[in-house]
Structure 1
Amino acid sequence: MIQLSLSSKLSLEKSAILVGLVGEDEIVDSPSLPTAAGLAQLAAHAGASAKADSVVRTSGASVGCDIVVFTGIGAEVTPEALRRAAGSAVRQLSGIDELTVLLPANDPESLSAIAEGLAYGSYRFARYTTPKPAVSSATIVVADAKDKALKAALARAIVLGESVSLTRDLINTAPGDLYPAEFASIAKRETKGLKIDVDEYDERRLAAEGFGGILGVGQGSTRPPRLVTLTYKPRGAVGHVALVGKGITFDSGGLSLKPPKSMETMKSDMSGAAAVLGAVIAAAKLGLPVQVTGYLALAENMPGGAAIRPSDVLVMHGGKTVEVLNTDAEGRLVLADAIDAAAQTKPDAIIDIATLTGAQAMAFGDRVGAVLGDEDVSSDLLGAADAAGEHLWPMPMPEYLGATLKSQVADMANMGVREGGMIVAAHFLKRFTGDVPWAHLDIAGPAFAEKEWGYVTLGGVGFGVRTFVNYLEELN
């Protein structure tokens, strides 16, 4: 990840500086800037724009430095606009090793947004190829680099950057290399040295303890499923939140086989579990005074000879029975097991996150997630997402759609009517929450980017990590 630091001194000699444009292509106000008039003339000459994602690189000889990079902030300066402007700049830049950032960062919220944007936009996935070089370090110029609030904001942004990068790495890893047992091993490795207890359920333990949904989904693969719990329990915790993530390391659809084109991005079907791992690690690194238990429901949905069949009946954790009408509606099966296990511990809230339904992506596109569930938890998540710069939209849960999850041979089916499929899936999950307050995040659209924008590079986005961290912080 990019190396981030603060400085109160501005040295233009042999430097590359990042400057923002806002509104009518005006230089954004910052006390650290060299003569604004000279920069304004340079921006106009270079054709720079305040439009979001506009990044122009030009010689800085006229203002006393090597390179000036102008980045568009948009109509007004907001934390998310700064996050996007900083991130978009480093995403698009190459050939610059060190960058001096002259964006308005003299309050903790603005500084955190800028630092996060730099961390997210400079992300490169390099496991299988050599990507274009990223900016390796950035110094953010502020009025007082020793200010405790600014230093704390930078430290928090670095933690978020690390957790989001881990989440993206997991999503981008080829499914041949990231299977349930390997995911469990990575969770153990990444939490080593942190105050997080990790417990791994292998297929034998899953069978002994009645996790029929996770076992059923995973039985068509030669690589068995896993359930991993991550427990962060600080002394004097003010509450307890369970985070449950769908971790389908590859989704072929099972015997209800997907079309080949639809499988191309299905390595990302574990984005929810990756986000939960990233969020629990961030909570521990930040020392948040909230108990957090993460559940990673991990399986590979394959059409092997032992795969579950349409019309099979699974006995879920807790004893409910489910008739499988479509093996490609598998995410709700692994989630339901984990949600039921979480509910038995009586946390203050359960939040699940999943790339659950194509209906969500069709409804909201590739940048907006959906939140469904109890009003109080959903409302808090919406506020946390807004502050984090992630876009969630609330959805209703009319009872008549849940009533379509009928089976003649089991307590319920894993499919209802196709119309309103996102809501039907949420109703299925709700049946396993007991009396615990609950919300469900469907991130099928925004979890994986097939187009670059802002601080988002191609591939895994890490959607949800920032929202979860903000949510947990607000519980304090």
Structure 2
Amino acid sequence: MKFITQVSLAPAAASAKFATDAVVVGVFQGSDGKTVASAEAQALIKRGTVAASLVADAAAGSGRVTHLTGADGTRVFVVGLGNADKLDAKSFTQAAKAAFGVVTGTSAKSVAFGLMDAKAKGLDLAGKARIAATAAVEASYRFDITKSKKDPAVALATVSLVVESSQAKTALAAAATGEALGEGINLTRTLGNLPGNICTPTYLANEAKKLAKTYKLGVEVLDKKQCEALKMGSFLSVAKGSDEAPKFIVLKYTGAGKAAPHVLVGKGITFDSGGISIKPGEGMDEMKFDMCGAASVIGTFRAIAQIKPKINLVGLIPACENMPSGRANKPGDIVTSMSGQTIEILNTDAEGRLILNDALTYAKRFKPASVVDIATLTGACVIALGHVHTGLFTKDEKLAADLLAAGHATGDTAWRMPLDDDYQDMLKSNFADMANIGGRPGGAITAACFLARYAEDLPWAHLDIAGTAWKSGAAKGATGRPVSLLTHYLLGQA
């Protein structure tokens, strides 16, 4: 997709014209309940492209889009921005996604994005340009890899960001970042949407190799024997129930010489049956999404490699299936992790933490500046936060602030959860150093506490994306979260 700029239309410029076949403008909800047109919408009205009455009748509710046809044949997409005083990064993102979602469903080949003049809290011009570009790329996503009949191609090829001429350079630079972010999100969505019989641990490893080849990244894929040599007993215990070979994937991006790297650790359970503690059959198909943490690491690498910030980054992905068989973990089994700590497995469906812990131990060899693990870890986090916020667990105040700020800036929000030591007692075992579950109360917290035991002396945070990584129902599919949060966080560290 091509991103360009064109000069903003002031309301006085009645003779000016957008050089595209479609236009996105905004309307606000006034304090008196009436619709208030944005400056760009007023320009269209003054030029006679659309009638003021039609714009006034457009839905001003946040994210609602009204499709009008202008007098000159131009398609006009009027998107509701809600109350002007409440417009922020999240609602601006929702509006941009809604607008491009409608635009990409038409035959429009070019569109002028006329929301750049909207004042949103916490967003400057660059932020709005980045969000617009990301939204356009995301809206162009179609998943038809596994369909015999392909979806119609998206016609939209050019997006014009409507800004003052003095702002063009800033807007285009931010749009390039947004485009890279959108591509990373879409890659994450594709990997998440692929079924478990295609997206196996080996497939994930090959995708990492392809990405490394394209962007000249470092990559290493450790096989079962190499993991055994490293004594990754916890990770391998989960993998042994499946016929699919486990893979431990290491990606490296070097953009800052010998600086300490930031490390992302992604849970890569390519299908989770629950193992011997098998899950109910209903909805089990969605357990192909249990590798969305791994997918988000690969998607973030895709974005970072294209943006090329001055930062060092390492991605660690323990990838395997969790299946029931004669070789699978049994409730009551005790395994030894790479750290030497022993674990009593009380529930084989609490397997994500059993692969992440060895990855966290492995991460220590890089002497990292920060470590963030990303995992569809617990249903308890969905109960706590629903599908709005990602759960954030950390004792590192700076890391917490940086991740929360990145989420707020991108609309890919997180909510900080407790990680008090008092919860650690729930993981006590009579037979091992710890149990892998702590019971139903505070399940997302005790899962994070389990991981914390392997992240001592690390600047570490855990993101539980069980409620945000995918959608169910009619809109079923991977969301690409939290690639936006992670990428924005990393750019802030560069």
**Residue in structure 2 matched with residue 74 of structure 1 by the alignment:** 82
List aligned pairs for 1:300-311, cutoff 5 A. Answer: 300-311=321-332
- Which ranges in structure 2 are unaligned for 5 or more consecutive residues? 9-15, 118-124
Deviations 1:36-64 (A, max 9, x none): 58567456378421112311212212xx3
Deviations 1:158-198 (A, max 9, x none): 11011011001000111110000111001110221324200
Would you say the 8 A contact 2:97–2:135 is kept in 1? Answer: yes
Deviates more, 1:295-304 or 1:374-383: 374-383
1:185 corresponds to which of 206, 212, 217:
206
User: Structure 1 residues 30, 313: CA separation in 2 closer, same or farther (over 3 Å shift)?
Assistant: same
Deviates more, 1:92-101 or 1:382-391: 92-101
Deviates more, 1:287-296 or 1:159-168: 287-296
User: Structure 1 residues 206, 277: CA separation in 2 closer, same or farther (over 3 Å shift)?
Assistant: same
Would you say the 8 A contact 1:90–1:135 is kept in 2? Answer: no
Instruction: Give the whole-Å Cα distance in 2 for the aligned partners of 1:16 and 1:333.
Output: 51
Check if 1:105 corresponds to 2:121.
no
**Displacement of 1:264:** 2.5
Query: Tell me, what secondary structure is at the counterpart of 1:467?
Result: helix
Deviates more, 1:31-40 or 1:73-82: 31-40
Opposite residue 298 of structure 1, the aligned amino acid is: A
2:437 corresponds to which of 415, 422, 440:
415
**Residue in structure 2 matched with residue 92 of structure 1 by the alignment:** 102
Would you say the 8 A contact 1:82–1:117 is kept in 2? Answer: no
Check if 1:252 corresponds to 2:262.
no
Instruction: Give the whole-Å Cα distance in 2 for the aligned partners of 1:30 and 1:184.
Output: 48
**RMSD of aligned residue pairs (Cα, Å):** 2.3
Would you say the 8 A contact 1:8–1:145 is kept in 2? Answer: no
Would you say the 8 A contact 1:26–1:40 is kept in 2? Answer: no
Check if 1:462 corresponds to 2:453.
no
2:457 corresponds to which of 421, 424, 435:
435
Opposite residue 155 of structure 1, the aligned amino acid is: A
Instruction: Give the whole-Å Cα distance in 1 for the aligned partners of 2:175 and 2:381.
Output: 34
**Displacement of 1:354:** 0.5
List aligned pairs for 1:144-155, cutoff 5 A. Answer: 144=165, 147-155=168-176
**Displacement of 1:332:** 0.3
Would you say the 8 A contact 2:271–2:291 is kept in 1? Answer: yes
Opposite residue 413 of structure 2, the aligned amino acid is: H
Instruction: Give the whole-Å Cα distance in 2 for the aligned partners of 1:344 and 1:43.
Output: 65
**Displacement of 1:395:** 0.8
Would you say the 8 A contact 2:133–2:176 is kept in 1? Answer: no
Aligned length: 469
**Displacement of 1:15:** 1.6
**Displacement of 1:84:** 1.8
Query: Tell me, what secondary structure is at the counterpart of 1:6?
Result: strand
**Displacement of 1:440:** 0.5
**Displacement of 1:79:** 3.6
Query: Tell me, what secondary structure is at the counterpart of 2:358?
Result: helix
Deviates more, 1:324-333 or 1:258-267: 258-267
Check if 1:271 corresponds to 2:292.
yes
Instruction: Give the whole-Å Cα distance in 2 for the aligned partners of 1:100 and 1:248.
Output: 40
**Displacement of 1:142:** 2.7
Would you say the 8 A contact 2:44–2:50 is kept in 1? Answer: no
Instruction: Give the whole-Å Cα distance in 1 for the aligned partners of 2:53 and 2:335.
Output: 64
List aligned pairs for 1:389-404, cutoff 5 A. Answer: 389-404=411-426
Query: Tell me, what secondary structure is at the counterpart of 1:344?
Result: helix
Would you say the 8 A contact 1:27–1:39 is kept in 2? Answer: no
Query: Tell me, what secondary structure is at the counterpart of 1:162?
Result: helix
User: Structure 1 residues 458, 132: CA separation in 2 closer, same or farther (over 3 Å shift)?
Assistant: farther
Deviations 1:105-164 (A, max 9, x none): 262222112222222233221212334654522422333288322221111011101101
Query: Tell me, what secondary structure is at the counterpart of 1:96?
Result: coil
**Displacement of 1:392:** 0.6
**Displacement of 1:97:** 3.2
User: Structure 1 residues 446, 344: CA separation in 2 closer, same or farther (over 3 Å shift)?
Assistant: same
Instruction: Give the whole-Å Cα distance in 1 for the aligned partners of 2:4 and 2:270.
Output: 36
Identity over the aligned pairs, expressed in percent?
Answer: 34
**Residue in structure 1 matched with residue 22 of structure 2 by the alignment:** 16
**Residue in structure 2 matched with residue 282 of structure 1 by the alignment:** 303
Would you say the 8 A contact 1:371–1:440 is kept in 2? Answer: yes
1:35 corresponds to which of 36, 41, 45:
45
Opposite residue 159 of structure 1, the aligned amino acid is: A
Deviates more, 1:30-39 or 1:402-411: 30-39
1:170 corresponds to which of 191, 196, 199:
191
TM-score relative to the length of structure 2: 0.89
User: Structure 1 residues 136, 45: CA separation in 2 closer, same or farther (over 3 Å shift)?
Assistant: closer
Would you say the 8 A contact 1:191–1:281 is kept in 2? Answer: no
Instruction: Give the whole-Å Cα distance in 1 for the aligned partners of 2:339 and 2:331.
Output: 22
**Residue in structure 2 matched with residue 127 of structure 1 by the alignment:** 145
Opposite residue 376 of structure 1, the aligned amino acid is: K
**Displacement of 1:14:** 7.7
Opposite residue 20 of structure 1, the aligned amino acid is: G
1:210 corresponds to which of 227, 231, 247:
231
1:339 corresponds to which of 360, 364, 380:
360
Would you say the 8 A contact 1:46–1:56 is kept in 2? Answer: no
